[in-house]
Amino acid sequence: MGDTKAVETNGSILIVDDEKNMRHMLAVMLSKAGYDTDTACDGNDALQKITTQSYDYILCDIKMPVMDGMTFLKKAGNLLADTTVIMMSAYGTIDLAVEAMKLGAYDFISKPFKPDEVRLTIKKAEERERLKRENLKLKHRIKIMEAGPGFGNLVAKSPAMRSVFKLAQKVASYNTTVLITGESGTGKELIARAIHSAGPRASGPWVPVNCGGIPDNLLESELFGHVKGAFTGAERDHPGLFTEAHGGTIFLDEIGELPISLQVKLLRVLQESEIRPVGGQKTGKVDVRVIAATSRDLEQAIEEGNFRQDLFYRLNVMPIHMPALRQRPEDIPLLCKHFIDKFNISLDRNIKGITPSAMKLLLKHHWPGNVRELENAIERAMVLSDTSSLEAEAFSEIINGLSTSRKVEAMFDGFSIKNAQRIVEKALIEKALKTTAGNRTHAAKLLEISHPSLLSKIKAYGIDL
């Protein structure tokens, strides 16, 4: 029974008052009314609490030692962006109430007050918040209707991408963890940012992190922070990216590159909403939505022992797969127009469009680099073109690529995909080992496979090092 009541809470309230009896009375009364209550003895204590935990409401006295209520409002600033603050004082004047509201307070109650007065003020605040949420949802719907064939900064009209947009729009309204999969260049970060921007956390921080772009020995500190003296060079406390994202969204790109040791800590964040900085003794609460993305096959990584199965299930609550561009060629003309409009501004050009022969060429291309490759091809063509429309000759890289693909066909006998895959894999592994002077760890990263998988293939293909 106790668990059910905890779930069906009316919201969380922080009571800030230097009088112990007042804190106790308000906590008991509001707990009975169905709220989760917490207390602080002064503004400084309250300030420390809101840096690690978010509250729906704050009841704050004005006259307090150490740090008074008005100073607390000034110092808290944006930390109270999603919190309704109600000030209390036995020395209330209209001027004081006006000043408090200028600093972000919602209402002002004069002491002494009746219990019903407090409950009524909070109920009014609840109604205001409900109307604000409904207003935001309406604005988002209008924005989507006006945006045309797209979602956020993505444009598409193919059934596959329209399904992605529809799912992303539904997911945006909730704090559900999202795992975005797809090949490199398909727009995984763009859809993640669009989900953040279309949801209730849009006004909060957006913190993107490339898990494969930060050295392993620095990644833990970057994500979870560190305390002064935790290691050589840690001259002061560092809050970390999860703390920076408090109240917003953290985007963990290339999550498949996260070391096993950090996967355990990330699992704790997802389960408990708690982080512990490097060298720290205490954990702190964080209110962060996690969106992760990967171009790797995580289920294969689990089989190879490079990714925790329990973390995969925690991340894969709401999976979204970004289809490759070759699987949705009907989007190519629309994307071309979008990029031409974009680069006409940044390059100060006046390109009208693409000739039919050039479009035929683009539609034939395999697009291994997906939308990112198309964007680069359009930019390069617009720089090189001397005409008002982009002609086939402006896409020399793609023409060369098509001629190369015809040469590739001659490499294989018969129609066996498995045999062709073996030939290509062996050639790429030999090329990667040659490029890295035989360094198998670096070669595995270039090939975007795990080190154990590379060793297994070297043995299977009989590659001499």
User: In this structure, what token pair is assigned to residue 417?
Assistant: 């995909």
Domain endpoint, select from 79, 104, 128: 128
Residue 6: the pLDDT is 35
Give residue 361's domain range.
326-409
**Domain at 380, CATH number:** 1.10.8.60
pLDDT over 70, % of the chain: 91
More confidently predicted of 135 and 294: 294
Q: Which range among 31-45, 143-157, 177-191, 365-379 shows the weakest confidence by mean pLDDT? A: 143-157
Percent of the chain, pLDDT > 90?
Answer: 44
Pairing of β 274-275 and β 284-285:
antiparallel
Among 370, 392, 409, identify where a domain stops. Answer: 409
Domain co-membership, 184 together with 300: yes
Q: Is residue 140 part of a domain?
A: no
Residue 206 lies in a domain: yes
Do 319 and 332 fall within a single domain?
no
Does residue 133 belong to any structural domain of this protein? no
> Do residues 268 and 365 both lie within one domain?
no
Do 167 and 301 belong to one domain? yes
pLDDT at 4: 36
pLDDT tens digits for range 433-464: 888 878 888 888 888 888 888 888 888 888 87
CATH number for the domain including 6? Answer: 3.40.50.2300
Q: List pLDDT tens digits, range 318-338.
A: 999 999 999 999 999 999 999
The structural domain count of the chain equals 4
